[in-house]
Amino acid sequence: MISVPSTPELGESGAAPIEQARLRDTGPWRMALARLLGDPPAVVALVLLTLLVLVCLAAPITAPHDPLAIDPVNRLEPPLSPGHLLGTDGEGRDILSRLIWGGRASLVTAVAPVLVGLVIGGLLGVLAGFYGWVTRMVIMRAMDVLFAFPAVLLAIAIAVTLGPGTRNVIIALTVVLVPSVARVTESATVTACSQEYMEAARASGASDASIILVQLLRNVASAPLAYSFSIIGPVIVFAAGLNYLGLGVQPPQPEWGSMLFSLQSSLLVAPITSITPGIPIALTALLFDLVGNAVRDMLDPRLV
């Protein structure tokens, strides 16, 4: 008599290989996206962050008042005042409108340095990790020189030297961020260059440019991307601090950090109004931090 395995035994012995094959068929990026969507706090943060960005980008439509319109009669109105949901500042300007318009400048001064730093630092890191130890020594020792200075003091020194302005704040923050991105990329590149597929690419006679663009970047990009997403939150606070010191956006143009500085003189008279610009700074940094951590886990090559 021939014995036939029961159905549960088939399921127990074949479930794992079938499930693994199914996950492989979905592709690493779909698996990573599934992990991101499986993180409820990150999904909520992403939705709120998207709404915040859209509101700021559509400031001409979403702002209820002109952010530069002065009304001395209604200065320092408390929150929930008629016509002014978040009150007014010392010049009678609507705070909600200034926060919406100022969000555009705050987001630009925070996100632009991360993007530029990702490109420059990523390029330096790839070159340092791909070519010989001489190139690596020159590039990474130059990065170590920048690492020797405290990030805050270095950014302030560069911004003061270049003069006030949004562009100069972006340049200062970019210089501060490039070394860390280069170090992350260089480490990932060194690891990738030791793999067999890189040796096969070199043996095939492909040019360095072809190997870097076709083989290397797609296997290295996840590390600097994940790191860059994770630092956007702290950079927002950093950029707001530079603007608070008067090194970025100049009054009367609104920006969250500069608004905190202009309202500090009213702290004893209108304390709630004075700290209002700090709320979007903290909230935006928190949202970016939640999303950045989820993206970091999503792009982590060890999890894909």
Cα distance between residue 170 and residue 176, in whole Å: 10
Does residue 8 sit within a domain?
A: no
Does residue 108 sit within a domain?
A: yes
pLDDT bin (cut points 50, 70, 90) of residue 251 is confident
∠ Cα 81 87 91 (to 5°): 125
Residue 165 amino acid letter = G
Does residue 15 sit within a domain?
A: no
Percent helix, strand and coil across the chain, each to the nearest 5: 75, 0, 25
List pLDDT tens digits, range 93-150.
999 999 999 999 999 999 999 999 999 999 999 999 998 788 899 999 999 999 889 9
Cα distance between residue 144 and residue 124, in whole Å: 13
Are 141 and 179 spatial neighbours (Cβ–Cβ below 8 Å)?
Answer: no
Cα distance between residue 9 and residue 113, in whole Å: 57
Are 175 and 116 spatial neighbours (Cβ–Cβ below 8 Å)?
Answer: no
> E strands of the chain, at which residues?
none
pLDDT at 47: 94
Does residue 96 sit within a domain?
A: yes
Does residue 3 sit within a domain?
A: no
Helix, strand or coil for residue 84?
strand
Tokens of 192: 């990738």
- Tell me the torsion sign for CA atoms 287, 290, 295, 298: negative
pLDDT at 156: 94
The single-letter DSSP state of residue 73 is: G
0.75 surpassed by pTM: yes
pLDDT surpasses 80 at 73: yes
**How buried is 278 (Cβ within 10 angstroms: 0-12 exposed, 13-18 middle, 19+ buried)?**
middle
Residue 238 amino acid letter = F
- Domain containing residue 263: CATH number: 1.10.3720.10
List pLDDT tens digits, range 92-106.
999 999 999 999 999
Domain of residue 83: give its range: 30-299
Overall domain count for the chain? 1
Does residue 13 sit within a domain?
A: no
Cα distance between residue 105 and residue 115, in whole Å: 15
Does residue 85 sit within a domain?
A: yes
Neighbour count for residue 237 (Cβ, 10 Å):
15
Does residue 304 sit within a domain?
A: no
pLDDT surpasses 90 at 292: no
Contacts of 280 (CB under 8 A, 6+ apart): 52, 99, 103, 106, 256
pLDDT bin (cut points 50, 70, 90) of residue 201 is confident
Average pLDDT, the chain: 85
CA distances from residue 151 to 53, 195, 216, 224 in whole angstroms, order as listed: 27, 34, 30, 19
Cα distance between residue 143 and residue 302, in whole Å: 27
